[in-house]
Structure 1
C-alpha cells in the first residue's frame, strides 16, 4: 500500500472492533481523512494518547480502499493538555473541531487554509490571552469566510451600498440597508456590528475594549450565521456556556 506523510489535527474518534479506532483528521495537504489506528485501545499501545481529539500530530499513513491506516504518529502540539482543564476552553474547542469537520466536506481534497486556521485557533484558545468565547467567535467567522460564506458588516450584502447599515440577516449574508431589509432581520447596535468586523479581522484591542452587552449580542449573531450556513445545528453547542 502506498505510504504518505502529513500533519493533522484529530477531530474525533470512535471505536472499531475490540482494540482499534477510526480517527477523523483534518490534514494539511489531504483535507479530511478518516483512518484506522490499529491497537490504540490496548493498554500496551505506545501512541494511542497521540490520537486523541485536539492533538496536532505528524502522521504516516498507508492508503486503503475505504479507510487509510495510521502507521506512525508523533505529537507536534499537545492541545488536549492545554484545554482539558478549563471547561470553557474545552467546550469552545469542541465546537471548533465540529465546525471544521462540517465545513471541509470533501475527503482527500486539500484545505490548507482551514487547517492552518484551526491550528491557529486552538493555539489561541490554549494560550489564555483572549477569553474563550471571543476566540471561538473569531474562529467561526474566519472559517466561514474561508469556506466562501464571508459575512458583510459594512456594505449592504444585497445591493453593495456602503454603510453603516442598521439591519442584519444571516440568510442574506450580513448587514442590509433599509431598502433591502427582509422580514426577520435583526437590528443590532452599531457597536455590535463594529465588533463583528473586529472579530473577523482579528483586531483584538478593539475586541477587548468592547462592552459585554455588545459581546453577547455579537455571539448570538455569530451563532445564527453559523447555523444558517451549516443548515443544521452542532451537537457541541449545547455544552458551551454563552
Structure 2
C-alpha cells in the first residue's frame, strides 16, 4: 500500500472502535480526506493530541481500500488548545470548519485550505474580535467558492453606491429602484463593515460598533446559508442578531 505525505487541518473527529478515531481533514493537495488514526484514544498515543479539531499537521498516511490510515503526524499549527478553551472561539471555529468541509466536497481546494488555516491562526491569537474573524472568514470563503457578495454598486442594475438595502438572494446591496419587499435597511457603517470583512481590512472592521457588528453578522449568516442551501448546524445561535 503506497505511502504519501500531506498537510492538513483537522475539521472533526469521531470514535471508531475502542481506541481509534476517524479524522476528517481539509488537506492542501487532496482536498477533503477521511482517514483512520489507530490507537489515538489511548493515553499512550504519541500523536493523538495532534489530531484534534483546529490543529494543522504534517501527515504520513498509507492508502487503504476504503479509508486511508494516518501513521505519523507532526504539528504545524497548534490552534486547537486556544480555540477549544474559549467557548465563543470554539463556536466560531466550529462554524468555520463546518463551512470549509461543505465548500470543499468537490475535490482539491487549495484556496479554501489556505484561507481556513489563516483564519484559525487569527482566531487562536485572540487579537481580533471573535465574531469579526468568523464573519470575515465566511464572506471570503463564499467568494472563493464563486459567490462573492457586492457591497458597493447595486447588484441588480449597477448603480453607484453607497446603498444600504441588502437582498441576500441577489447577492448584496440594491438601490432604491431595485428594492424588493422586506429587504432590510442597514446602517451605513454596517455596509462599510461588510465590505471591510470581505477585503480583510481589520483596521476598519475593528473600529465598528456593536450594532454594526450585529447587523453585519445577521447578513453574513443569511448569505452563507442561502448559498449552501441548507443550514449550518454550528451556526445556530452564533450569529442570530436581528437586522433593524
**TM-based fold match above 0.5:** yes
Distance in 2, Cα, partners of 1:76 & 1:116: 13
Matched, 1:97 2:104: no
Structure-1-length-normalised TM-score: 0.94
Residue segments in structure 1 that go unaligned for 5+ positions in a row: none
Deviations 1:41-60 (A, max 9, x none): 22222111111111110001
| Residue aligning to 1:22 | 22
| Residue aligning to 1:67 | 67
| Residue aligning to 2:47 | 47
Residue segments in structure 2 that go unaligned for 5+ positions in a row: none
Structure-2-length-normalised TM-score: 0.93
| Residue aligning to 2:180 | 182
Question: Offset at 1:28?
Answer: 0.6
8 Å Cα contact 1:55/1:75 also seen in 2: yes
| Residue aligning to 1:134 | 132
8 Å Cα contact 2:221/2:235 also seen in 1: no
Question: Offset at 1:185?
Answer: 1.7
Matched, 1:218 2:244: no
Distance in 1, Cα, partners of 2:75 & 2:92: 22
| Residue aligning to 1:124 | 122
Question: Offset at 1:25?
Answer: 0.3
Residue 149 of structure 2, aligned match among 151, 156, 179: 151
Please identify, of 78-87 and 4-13, the stretch whose mean Cα deviation from structure 2 is larger. 78-87
Distance in 2, Cα, partners of 1:6 & 1:15: 22
Question: Offset at 1:16?
Answer: 1.4
Distance in 2, Cα, partners of 1:205 & 1:23: 36
Distance in 2, Cα, partners of 1:43 & 1:71: 17
| Residue aligning to 1:5 | 5
Question: Offset at 1:2?
Answer: 1.7
| Residue aligning to 1:173 | 171
Question: Offset at 1:241?
Answer: 7.0
CA separation of 1:239 and 1:189: change in aligned 2, threshold 3 A = closer
Matched, 1:34 2:34: yes
- The number of residue pairs the alignment matches comes to 240
Question: Offset at 1:165?
Answer: 2.0
8 Å Cα contact 2:5/2:58 also seen in 1: yes
Question: Offset at 1:231?
Answer: 1.4
Question: Offset at 1:183?
Answer: 2.9
Question: Offset at 1:154?
Answer: 0.7
Deviations 1:153-195 (A, max 9, x none): 0122222232222321111111112333233322112221111
Please identify, of 232-241 and 97-106, the stretch whose mean Cα deviation from structure 2 is larger. 232-241
Distance in 2, Cα, partners of 1:67 & 1:202: 37
